[in-house]
Chain A
């Protein structure tokens, strides 16, 4: 798996339900393509949810999924497992952690390149992987220690030199990629190496074949987190060192015959379409059961049809907006888990300033007179929208109301006591009355406390069939509490132009709906600190600065203490509400019933049946059709 640091924007905030039958009075789509009557969302919940807590509530509830499936039957010898990777952007085919850029490449790489470290359910490094990572606070040295029986696919041993090599690639003056991050730059001697002034990186020491020490200018607690700063990858030095770094990304050693130390070797690549892999007998966790893997890219438009035809054993990135079309296809079990992502509505509160009086570095400067600066107004807008209903009716239960900017997947850091903003229009009205937002000219809409007309411009992205109905629903809800909210330019906006304008702090935008993928490091400084360019609301307060400092401080090595800071921060954040976190999202994985075991639990030990690719097995020569 790739270590996901930082954040990425999601192309569509509202990627989405295909048919809006679930909306309205709970009537449902009558049939799916098999002609099987569908249950309504509530019943599906009861059918599929093993740990239903029996809680009763109005209307359909969020679906819950199993993260593990086991199918009965003897394992067959070897076999070929086919994976359908549903994506409209084909993989580029760069098999290199240093050089790839898109998620499709990370997906095709994961079975073959191998990962050095395992992570637990909080995405923190554990000691069960190919290597262990230790962070020494006193010396600022990170020590990576390898197991001694790890081989590359060509039979050479994986050594500490290979980990140093991956740093040398990224630090090289000719390196064309984007991984030369601020964390990389904190390695002692890295900048001199990048500038071409040094032949080696001073801070990186190969102690012996299995031990590597990396000295940083400073270390932080987030370095214990996958993607938190340590570049935990390896590249085969013996295989790649003769290729000039500038030419690496076009080299056949990367694009056609890549080697790694993962459970499967690449056999054949059809660029952009498919990859076949064969098992690597000397994989350090043990020889894989399955002899051959085939991965093919499937366009989203035909994913459901491919599933109905039982063309694959496993589907990755199955489009959740078509859930009701595939939830009952015979022959498959559907696993699900929460994505590391959330949807939100942001309030524009200031602007990004790069220079000026008292500005020593580029930062977010909130404007106390901004239209959305009143916290009551923001809270009222949150109470006015019923995200429970949006989740169950627009998204068929695959999304649920978000209660925090930290997703529940970070179990230790997520504050599960927060209630968030459940639907409460009365409370919303009160809050607005309190703050002095009243309708003074009788037009049915509230004016500002100063008595000026209040028109709020809402920017939302096009994409998926429910983007528009959801935006309309939100605006209608806000109108119900007397707020005049208009769609920016009267329409939804295409992804690129949307982010162009949000990023540039277009004064025409007051609120906007977007989504973040959070990666595997819960530390929110990249999204909400004063100095984060991705803090698109331009919100900054001194209290928040203090929280950010605490989260990254030395004391944070005390995990309990750090978790407490996270919980307090979430409470503070949800009170201040620079954004309304609106939706937590689920991703689903259809698995064919001939697959012996498959497990998508975050942090599961890869040696557990079904978790690591080497443990997968098949119970039949043909895919199950029922």
Chain B
């Protein structure tokens, strides 16, 4: 197994290199650069040209790529044009927000999805089950930006229950106040994410449980006299959660990547927001690092999922 993990990790190196080359080529096709139409009046055109020169934007693609790659290997990912700071500092500043948001979203997602899925499977064909199914179809069909805007409009502006933008209130001073304010700002976006994120959890759990109910091992357990409650918690749930476990690696990875839509609509300064903003302003150095990061996270997510699957299901072996 360790050999496999090691091999998979090794394989990531060429994958990452190919990814980086692709991003460089595609980014080169984007019209404009960070200095096109810089909305600032105090700049002399000669100064813009000097900046382009200083950032090496006038060099050929190959030169730029190798310079970037060389620096990146030494941990220097360049400076953000937009923020006038090292890219690592810019991204580092956003990651905390994103992790907090994703963590809470994940908790809510499983908090809603697991019980609903289990109950719907156990009591299938009841009114409750049908209600869950309807919820499932609706949440699957609604695009995230529609629900997010609705939530902001209803709970943020009309009812004034939650703050409608930002990650922390400017008037929070003490540590306790700051953490409370952060949590308060997280609630609405994370509940929104959770409402839309439960579809597959509910669907998989429900159908697995329905299948399992009539399977031989359940019948055996029941005929041995195991109480029904115990059959569900000990036997069925464990088997039914396999498909969910397989996605768990990605869930962990998603903690770091954030959601572009949610962050944009809730004006929440996380990685997704940064990504969109960087694309719009052609902040190449940030875009490169973010895409590489997302790519790497995707690869790690796959690996993690395989490992988790192996841990929960002893029948599965990767060699």
Q: A-side interface residues toward B, CB under 8 Å? A: 2-11, 89-90, 92, 94, 99, 101-103, 176, 178-182, 227, 249-250, 268, 270-276, 294, 296-299, 301-302, 305-306, 308-309, 494-497, 499-500, 517, 519, 533-534
Is residue B227 contacting chain A, with contact meaning CB distance below 8 A? no
Q: Please, which residues of chain A bring their CB within 8 A of the CB of B160?
A: 309
- Interface on chain B toward A: helix, strand, loop, or mixed SS? loop
Q: Please, which residues of chain B bring their CB within 8 A of the CB of A181?
A: 42-44, 47
Q: Which residue of A lies closest to B31 (CB)?
A: A497
The answer to whether residues A496 and B170 also contact, given A92-B84, A101-B40, A179-B42 and a CB cut-off of 8 A, is no
Q: Please, which residues of chain A bring their CB within 8 A of the CB of B146?
A: none
A274 to B160 Cα, complex, angstroms: 20
Q: Which residue of A lies closest to B82 (CB)?
A: A92
The answer to whether residues A4 and B170 also contact, given A271-B269, A309-B157, A309-B160 and a CB cut-off of 8 A, is no
Q: Which residue from B32, B46, B54 sits with its C-beta under 8 Å from A497?
A: B32
Q: Which residue from A2, A103, A250 sits with its C-beta under 8 Å from B85?
A: A250
Q: Is the CB of A296 within 8 A of B47?
A: no
Q: Tell me the minimal C-beta distance from B275 to chain A in angstroms.
A: 14
Q: Which residue of A lies closest to B40 (CB)?
A: A101
Q: Tell me the minimal C-beta distance from B289 to chain A in angstroms.
A: 17
**Which 3 interchain pairs have the tightest Cβ spacing?**
A496-B32, A497-B31, A274-B170
Q: Tell me the minimal C-beta distance from A123 to chain B in angstroms.
A: 12
Is residue B166 contacting chain A, with contact meaning CB distance below 8 A? yes
Q: Is the CB of B48 within 8 A of A178?
A: yes
Q: Is the CB of A496 within 8 A of B31?
A: yes
Is residue B153 contacting chain A, with contact meaning CB distance below 8 A? yes
Q: Is the CB of B40 within 8 A of A8?
A: yes
Q: Is the CB of A101 within 8 A of B84?
A: yes
Give me 10 A-to-B residue pairs in the complex whose CB atoms sit less than 8 angstroms apart, sorted by A's number: A11-B37, A89-B277, A101-B38, A179-B43, A273-B166, A273-B267, A298-B267, A302-B157, A500-B36, A534-B45
A276 to B160 Cα, complex, angstroms: 22
A86 to B96 Cα, complex, angstroms: 25
Q: Please, which residues of chain A bring their CB within 8 A of the CB of B169?
A: 274
Q: Which residue from A3, A270, A494 sits with its C-beta under 8 Å from B170?
A: A270
Q: Which residue from A5, A250, A276 sits with its C-beta under 8 Å from B89?
A: A250
Q: Tell me the minimal C-beta distance from A93 to chain B in angstroms.
A: 8
Q: Please, which residues of chain A bring their CB within 8 A of the CB of B40?
A: 8, 101-103, 178
Q: Which residue of A lies closest to B81 (CB)?
A: A101
Q: Is the CB of B86 within 8 A of A250?
A: yes
The answer to whether residues A92 and B83 also contact, given A11-B37, A179-B47, A495-B32 and a CB cut-off of 8 A, is yes
Q: Is the CB of B47 within 8 A of A294?
A: no
Q: Is the CB of A178 within 8 A of B170?
A: no
Q: Tell me the minimal C-beta distance from A243 to chain B in angstroms.
A: 15
A437 to B38 Cα, complex, angstroms: 40
The answer to whether residues A496 and B41 also contact, given A90-B277, A305-B157 and a CB cut-off of 8 A, is no
A178 to B46 Cα, complex, angstroms: 9
Is residue B26 contacting chain A, with contact meaning CB distance below 8 A? no
A306 to B50 Cα, complex, angstroms: 41
Q: Is the CB of B82 within 8 A of A296?
A: no
B164-196 vs A, Cβ < 8 Å mask (1 yes, 0 no)? 111111110100000000000000000000000
Q: Is the CB of B44 within 8 A of A182?
A: yes
Q: Which of A5, A9, A89, A101 is the most central at the interface, judged by chain B CB atoms within 10 Å of its CB?
A: A101
Q: Which residue from A94, A178, A534 sits with its C-beta under 8 Å from B47?
A: A178
The answer to whether residues A6 and B93 also contact, given A270-B168, A496-B30 and a CB cut-off of 8 A, is no
B138-164 vs A, Cβ < 8 Å mask (1 yes, 0 no)? 000000000001001100110010001
The answer to whether residues A500 and B165 also contact, given A94-B84, A178-B43, A250-B85 and a CB cut-off of 8 A, is no
Q: Please, which residues of chain A bring their CB within 8 A of the CB of B165?
A: 296, 298-299, 302
Q: Is the CB of A8 within 8 A of B36?
A: no
Interface residue tally on B, bucketed by range: 35 or more
Q: Which residue of A lies closest to B157 (CB)?
A: A305
Q: Tell me the minimal C-beta distance from B262 to chain A in angstroms.
A: 13
A560 to B281 Cα, complex, angstroms: 43
The answer to whether residues A499 and B36 also contact, given A273-B167, A299-B165 and a CB cut-off of 8 A, is yes
Q: Please, which residues of chain B bring their CB within 8 A of the CB of A271?
A: 93, 269
Q: Tell me the minimal C-beta distance from B292 to chain A in angstroms.
A: 23
Q: Is the CB of B37 within 8 A of A6?
A: no
Which B25-81 residues have a C-beta within 8 angstroms of A? 30-33, 36-48, 50-51, 54
Is residue B206 contacting chain A, with contact meaning CB distance below 8 A? no
A582 to B113 Cα, complex, angstroms: 57
Q: Please, which residues of chain A bring their CB within 8 A of the CB of B36?
A: 495-496, 499-500
A9 to B281 Cα, complex, angstroms: 14
Is residue B282 contacting chain A, with contact meaning CB distance below 8 A? yes
A391 to B16 Cα, complex, angstroms: 52
A102 to B82 Cα, complex, angstroms: 9
Q: Is the CB of A8 within 8 A of B45?
A: no
Q: Please, which residues of chain B bring their CB within 8 A of the CB of A298?
A: 165, 267
Q: Is the CB of A90 within 8 A of B269?
A: yes
Q: Tell me the minimal C-beta distance from A398 to chain B in angstroms.
A: 20
Q: Please, which residues of chain B bring their CB within 8 A of the CB of A299?
A: 165, 267
Q: Please, which residues of chain B bring their CB within 8 A of the CB of A8?
A: 37-41, 43
Q: Which residue from B32, B153, B269, B277 sits with its C-beta under 8 Å from A273?
A: B269
A101 to B47 Cα, complex, angstroms: 12
Q: Which residue of A lies closest to B32 (CB)?
A: A496
Q: Is the CB of A276 within 8 A of B170?
A: yes
Q: Is the CB of B42 within 8 A of A2?
A: yes
A494 to B31 Cα, complex, angstroms: 9
Q: Please, which residues of chain A bring their CB within 8 A of the CB of B277?
A: 89-90
Q: Please, which residues of chain B bring their CB within 8 A of the CB of A276?
A: 170-171
Q: Is the CB of A294 within 8 A of B170?
A: yes
The answer to whether residues A302 and B164 also contact, given A5-B41, A270-B170 and a CB cut-off of 8 A, is yes
A297 to B268 Cα, complex, angstroms: 11
A500 to B33 Cα, complex, angstroms: 9
Q: Please, which residues of chain B bring their CB within 8 A of the CB of A94?
A: 84
Q: Is the CB of B32 within 8 A of A6?
A: no
A301 to B149 Cα, complex, angstroms: 10
Q: Is the CB of B84 within 8 A of A7?
A: no
A440 to B48 Cα, complex, angstroms: 48
Q: Please, which residues of chain B bring their CB within 8 A of the CB of A90?
A: 269, 277
Q: Which of B48, B83, B93, B152 is the most central at the interface, judged by chain A CB atoms within 10 Å of its CB?
A: B83
A2 to B265 Cα, complex, angstroms: 31
The answer to whether residues A249 and B84 also contact, given A90-B277, A272-B269, A499-B36 and a CB cut-off of 8 A, is yes
Q: Is the CB of A9 within 8 A of B39?
A: yes
Q: Is the CB of B37 within 8 A of A270?
A: no
